């Protein structure tokens, strides 16, 4: 069974968890108090760069019949879409830049360059996923309602098709994201909870799809006149590049080994400290240089992003240093590895879980009941924390 | 905010938007010229000219979408970035309409504790791009003009009146019987002193009194006023200055039974419209309140304990904007309605509204 008491799992006392929560609160306060012109310059710089890259890509495709221009156009446009969706759109919609008081870069108004309506994304992602992170039955991101990503999810013969579904999801990722807020589980069971709402949301997705596809697959190809077809294929390639890349980055966030899942019992009377702990234990980071992190929407700092989803992404590196210190202090794991390794671990799990795989399930269950291994059982800071609370 | 466009321009813009969706053409055009966007009103600082001690006159060239006539005495909102944040203040326009083409002129005194005003007076370089809010305010002269006019000003309260005097200066039919009593601490700190002298020479029938309060003391009402302008009770009066001065004047005019001939500028939103009222649902915090048509969405939310963002509370700064998911709200300043369009016919089933100046027009849902 998934984790239903995170304190017990982490072998931490209530006082430990409370002290831990206070340390995370302090990070938030410090970053909030120091947001300023440098951060503002960062996001404006990224937005300007992204728009210039996009213009360059579209411009190159006016000669899309020439292979080097086709390739340059597709690549530039792919990069532009990645930057827009990830480091800009995803983070702006989290409210990371709302403090600037600029309606043009604000979570209430941002609409991103893919087929998913921002409003639905803010519900399924910001609200459901970031509140109920990795809670079975509550967080739809645990397998996106079509994949078995933990042995806590019961095996069904349909899971045999996982490697295929997974590949399709990768190729059509923006469409998967677009229907993420719909009641897919209900649809599969032929028992949609709220058919009216389902229809309204589907129509909203349809409108966004028409606009996005109209732009990329009809209007821009038409504008390039005789090169309609080559521009069309370049634009499809750009969307595909973005799909595959964002899929890969996102699958590294919660599916690598060591990212824990939880039961709904854990949510009952969950304290702020436990919430932080759940975000920490449920997320996984990957290493990389600055360019890699910008190109992945700073999701290589998935742990920091889940602890502080609305703090500016350019501050995650410095936040990470402090989070690592806290993890060391409380003897908690900090799940990090090179990107290829984390990605491989995610894919391996999905392939393994296509089968009932009782051995793997038993291993997971044993880990979940045993809890975190401690280097040194007496090193938990509860004694220290008790003193602090008493003081 | 999009200004009225001709049908042809609008069609062209709609067509271009199909290419730039989900952004607007403006979002790309600003890469070339920061003023080429009508998305949020913006302007470029053309010059900053020091005036009397710690004040400056700032000339702003507005960008696309600025197509607002203004009346002498009105103010505009100006948003400057300080430490990465847009901070909004309102300042009176000091020139009458169309004198400088489309250029906007404001005069700002740096307040000792006024972060934004100090920044504007000494911190902004020409070329800086600022955000703008359209002209607003009821502190304007009527048409036709009253026969006897009195302006009572102190400190930077002269700024809206300066626009009025400059506009009267250019009107051949201008009122002859104009009195201005302007108080400043001393000659050094008196704004527009030279221009006021010039106006006095050009219009012998005007009486311009520049009072230096360090030497002569504050003008009191009614006693001091009786001395300087014995016939003040017969005059239509426009007053702008510190709160105490306005409170004094308000009391004196009320006591004399001529409250309606006093016009004040207090820099606050004036709500002339009213809404229907209704049930406001705050979706994110799961609260619902019954609200009457005079209570703003912001006030209703605050009373219900919803964490509401707010800024100027007068409709200029946009800090309070929130998505309206369903229903309608009404702008209390001008009575205009903002309604979520039927989702089947629109691109997005929500709009953003300023909660500080709108009230429920029937049942509505705000995403806060």
In the prediction, which pLDDT does B284 show? 83
- Residue A52 to residue B83, Cβ atoms within 8 A: no
In the prediction, which pLDDT does B298 show? 93
Residues 6+ apart with CB under 8 A from A213: A115
A268, with CB counted inside 10 A (0-12, 13-18, 19+), is exposed
- Residue B343 to residue A113, Cβ atoms within 8 A: no
Name the token pair of A229: 């077809």
Chain B CB contacts of A52 under 8 Å are 31
Residues A155/A97, Cβ–Cβ less than 8 Å: no
Closest residue by Cα to residue B161 from B184, B132, B130: B184
Closest residue by Cα to residue A248 from A314, A173, A151: A173
In the prediction, which pLDDT does A380 show? 52
CA–CA distance, B54 with B117 (Å, rounded to integer): 10
Residues 6+ apart with CB under 8 A from A227: A61, A62, A63, A64, A65, A221
Name the token pair of A133: 């992170």
Chain B CB contacts of A219 under 8 Å are 18-19
Half-sphere exposure of residue B76, counting CA atoms within 13 Å on the CB side?
A: 35
Residues B35/B44, Cβ–Cβ less than 8 Å: yes
- Residue A101 to residue B22, Cβ atoms within 8 A: no
Q: Show the domains of chain B with their CATH numbers.
A: 7-136 (2.40.30.10), 148-264 (3.40.50.80), 278-366 (3.10.20.30)
CA–CA distance, A390 with A388 (Å, rounded to integer): 5
- Residue B343 to residue A203, Cβ atoms within 8 A: yes
**Partner residue facing A52 (CB), from B31, B83, B367:** B31
Interface test with chain B among A104, A114, A208, by most B beta carbons within 10 Å: A104
Residue A386 has pLDDT above 50, yes or no: no
CA–CA distance, B40 with B29 (Å, rounded to integer): 13
- Residue pointed to by tokens 């705000």: B366
- Write the CA distances from B351 to A155, B147, B268, B325, integer angstroms: 44, 47, 25, 7
- Write the CA distances from A74 to A70, A176, A300, integer angstroms: 6, 22, 25
Tens-level pLDDT at each residue, chain B (368 residues): 444 567 888 899 899 999 999 999 999 999 999 999 988 899 999 999 998 878 899 999 999 989 888 999 998 989 999 899 888 888 899 988 765 568 999 999 887 667 778 888 887 899 999 999 888 888 999 988 899 999 999 998 999 999 999 999 988 777 789 999 999 999 888 999 999 999 999 999 999 999 999 999 999 888 999 999 999 999 999 999 888 899 899 999 999 999 999 998 775 566 777 889 999 999 888 899 999 988 999 999 988 888 888 777 788 777 788 889 889 999 998 888 998 875 544 445 568 899 999 999 999 999 88
Residue A390 has pLDDT above 50, yes or no: no
- Residue A99 to residue B85, Cβ atoms within 8 A: yes
In the prediction, which pLDDT does B1 show? 42
CA–CA distance, A325 with A311 (Å, rounded to integer): 19
**Partner residue facing A51 (CB), from B19, B28, B343:** B28
- Residue B349 to residue A200, Cβ atoms within 8 A: yes
- Residue A103 to residue B318, Cβ atoms within 8 A: yes
Residues 6+ apart with CB under 8 A from A373: none
Chain B CB contacts of A99 under 8 Å are 84-85
- Residue B86 to residue A102, Cβ atoms within 8 A: yes
Torsion on CA atoms B150, B155, B157, B162, rounded to nearest 10: 70
**How does pLDDT run across A31-68, given as a tens digit for each residue?**
999 999 999 999 999 999 999 999 999 999 999 999 99
Name the token pair of A218: 């009809």
**Partner residue facing B21 (CB), from A117, A211, A223:** A211
- Residue B22 to residue A113, Cβ atoms within 8 A: yes
Nearest-neighbour CA in chain B from A111: distance (Å): 6
**Partner residue facing A219 (CB), from B19, B81, B348:** B19
Name the token pair of B242: 């510190």
Nearest-neighbour CA in chain B from A364: distance (Å): 36
- Residue pointed to by tokens 């190729």: A171
> How many residues comprise chain B?
368
Residues of B engaging A, defined by a Cβ cutoff of 8 Å = 18-19, 21-23, 27-28, 31, 39-40, 79, 81, 83-87, 311, 317-319, 321-323, 343-344, 347-350, 352, 367
CA–CA distance, A296 with A300 (Å, rounded to integer): 7
Half-sphere exposure of residue A182, counting CA atoms within 13 Å on the CB side?
A: 24
Residues of A engaging B, defined by a Cβ cutoff of 8 Å = 35-41, 48, 51-52, 55, 99-104, 106, 108-109, 111-113, 117, 119, 200, 203-204, 207-208, 211-212, 214-215, 219-220, 223
- Residue B85 to residue A48, Cβ atoms within 8 A: no
Chain B CB contacts of A109 under 8 Å are 352
Interface test with chain A among B21, B316, B322, by most A beta carbons within 10 Å: B21
In the prediction, which pLDDT does A281 show? 97
- Residue pointed to by tokens 């899309």: A64
pLDDT over 90 for what percent of chain A? 87
Q: The pTM is what?
A: 0.86
Chain A CB contacts of B315 under 8 Å are none
**How does pLDDT run across A296-330, given as a tens digit for each residue?**
999 999 999 999 999 999 999 999 999 999 999 99
Strands B148-154 and B85-92: unpaired
- Residue A106 to residue B321, Cβ atoms within 8 A: yes
Q: What are phi and psi of A238, to 5 degrees?
A: -60, -45
In the prediction, which pLDDT does A198 show? 95
Gyration radius of chain B's alpha carbons: 23
pLDDT over 70 for what percent of chain A? 95
Which of A2-11, A180-189, A224-233 is most confident? A224-233
In the prediction, which pLDDT does A78 show? 98
Strands B148-154 and B55-62: unpaired
3-state secondary structure A322-337: HHHHHHHHCCCCCCEE
In the prediction, which pLDDT does B100 show? 54
- Residue A119 to residue B18, Cβ atoms within 8 A: no
Name the token pair of B113: 């504790």
Closest Cα in chain A to B283: A123
Nearest-neighbour CA in chain A from B343: distance (Å): 8
Average pLDDT over residues A234-257: 97
CA–CA distance, B56 with B49 (Å, rounded to integer): 5
A32, with CB counted inside 10 A (0-12, 13-18, 19+), is middle
CA–CA distance, B110 with B112 (Å, rounded to integer): 6
Chain B CB contacts of A102 under 8 Å are 40, 86
3-state secondary structure chain A: CCECCHHHHHCCCHHHHHHHHHHHHHHHHHHHHHCCHHHHHHHHHHHHHHHHHHHHHHHHHHHCCCHHHHHHHHHHHHHHHHHHHHHHHHHHHCCCCHHHCCHHHCCCCCCCCCCCCHHHHHHHHHHHHHHCCCECCCCCCCCCCCCCCCCCCCCCHHHHHHHHHHHHHHHCHHHHHHCCCCCHHHHHCCCCCCHHHHHHHHHHHHHHHHHHHHHHHHHHHHHCHHHHHHHHHHHHHHHHHHHHHHHHHHHHHHCCCCCCCECHHHHCCCCHHHHHHHHHHHCCEEECCHHHHHHCCCHHHHHHHHHCCCCCHHHHHHHHHHHHHHHHHCCCCCCEEEHHHHHHHHHHHHHHCCCCCHHHHHHHHHHHHHCCCCCCHHHCCHHHHHHHHHC
Closest Cα in chain B to A104: B40
Chain A CB contacts of B81 under 8 Å are 37, 40, 100
Name the token pair of B106: 């404001």
CA–CA distance, B239 with B237 (Å, rounded to integer): 6
This complex has an ipTM of 0.90
Closest residue by Cα to residue B149 from B201, B203, B95: B203
């Amino acid at each position: 069974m998934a984790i239903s008491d995170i304190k017990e799992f982490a072998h931490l006392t209530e006082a430990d968890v409370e002290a831990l929560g206070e340390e995370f609160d302090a990070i938030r306060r410090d970053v909030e108090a120091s947001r300023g012109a440098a951060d503002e310059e960062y996001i404006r710089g990224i937005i300007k760069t992204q728009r210039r890259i996009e213009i360059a890509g579209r411009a190159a495709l006016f000669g899309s019949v020439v292979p080097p221009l086709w390739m340059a156009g597709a690549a530039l446009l792919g990069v532009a879409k990645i930057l827009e969706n990830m480091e800009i759109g995803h983070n702006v919609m989290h409210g990371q830049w709302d403090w600037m008081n600029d309606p043009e870069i604000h979570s209430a108004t941002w609409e991103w360059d893919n087929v998913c309506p921002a409003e639905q994304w803010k519900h399924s992602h910001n609200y459901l996923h970031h509140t109920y992170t990795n809670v079975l039955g509550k967080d739809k991101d645990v397998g996106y309602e079509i994949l078995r990503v933990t042995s806590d999810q019961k095996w069904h013969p349909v899971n045999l098709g996982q490697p295929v579904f997974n590949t399709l999801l990768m190729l059509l990722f923006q469409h998967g994201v677009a229907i993420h807020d719909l009641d897919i589980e209900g649809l599969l069971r032929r028992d949609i909870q709220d058919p009216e709402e389902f229809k309204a949301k589907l129509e909203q997705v349809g409108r966004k799809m028409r606009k996005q596809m109209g732009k990329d697959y009809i209007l821009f190809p038409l504008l390039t006149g005789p090169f309609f077809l080559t521009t069309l294929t370049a634009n499809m390639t750009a969307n595909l590049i973005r799909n595959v890349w964002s899929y890969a980055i996102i699958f590294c966030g919660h599916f690598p080994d060591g990212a824990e899942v939880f039961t709904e019992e854990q949510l009952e009377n969950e304290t702020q400290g436990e919430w932080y702990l759940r975000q920490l234990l449920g997320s996984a980071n990957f290493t990389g240089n600055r360019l890699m992190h910008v190109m992945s929407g700073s999701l290589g700092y998935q742990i920091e992003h889940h602890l502080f989803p609305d703090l500016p992404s350019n501050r995650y590196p410095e936040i990470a240093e402090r989070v690592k210190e806290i993890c060391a202090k409380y003897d908690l794991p900090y799940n990090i590895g090179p990107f290829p390794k984390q990605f491989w671990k995610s894919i391996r799990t999905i392939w393994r879980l296509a089968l009932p795989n009782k051995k793997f399930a038993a291993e997971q269950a044993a880990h979940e009941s045993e809890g975190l291994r401690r280097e040194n059982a007496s090193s938990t800071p509860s004694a220290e924390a008790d003193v602090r609370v008493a003081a | 905010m999009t200004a009225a466009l001709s049908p042809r321009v609008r069609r062209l813009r709609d067509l271009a938007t199909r290419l730039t969706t989900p952004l607007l053409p403006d979002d790309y055009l600003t890469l070339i010229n920061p003023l080429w966007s009508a998305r949020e009103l913006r302007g470029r600082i053309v010059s900053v000219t020091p005036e009397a001690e710690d004040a400056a006159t700032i000339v702003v060239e507005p960008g696309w979408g600025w197509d607002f006539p203004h009346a002498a005495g009105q103010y505009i909102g100006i948003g400057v970035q300080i430490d990465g944040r847009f901070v909004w203040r309102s300042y009176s326009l000091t020139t009458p309409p169309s004198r400088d083409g489309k250029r906007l002129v404001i005069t700002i005194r740096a307040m000792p504790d006024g972060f934004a005003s100090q920044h504007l007076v000494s911190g902004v370089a020409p070329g800086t791009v600022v955000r703008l809010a359209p002209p607003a305010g009821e502190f304007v002269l009527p048409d036709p003009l009253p026969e006897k006019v009195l302006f009572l000003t102190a400190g930077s309260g002269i700024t809206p009146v300066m626009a009025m005097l400059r506009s009267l200066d250019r009107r051949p039919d201008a009122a002859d019987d104009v009195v201005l009593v302007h108080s400043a601490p001393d000659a050094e700190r008196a704004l527009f002193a030279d221009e006021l002298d010039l106006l006095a020479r050009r219009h012998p029938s005007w009486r311009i009194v520049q009072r230096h309060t360090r030497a002569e003391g504050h003008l009191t009402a009614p006693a001091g006023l009786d001395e300087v302008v014995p016939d003040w009770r017969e005059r239509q009066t426009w007053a702008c200055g510190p709160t105490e001065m306005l409170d004094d004047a308000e009391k004196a005019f009320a006591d004399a039974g001529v409250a309606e001939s006093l016009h004040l500028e207090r820099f606050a939103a004036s709500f002339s419209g009213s809404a229907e009222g209704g049930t406001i649902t705050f979706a994110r915090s799961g609260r619902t309140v019954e609200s009457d048509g005079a209570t703003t969405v912001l006030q209703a939310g605050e009373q219900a304990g919803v964490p509401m963002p707010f800024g100027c509370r007068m409709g200029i700064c946009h800090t309070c904007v929130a998505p309206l998911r369903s229903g309608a709200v009404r702008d209390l300043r001008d009575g205009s309605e903002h309604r979520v369009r039927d989702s089947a016919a629109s691109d997005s089933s929500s709009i953003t509204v300023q909660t500080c100046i709108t009230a429920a027009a029937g049942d509505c849902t705000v995403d806060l």
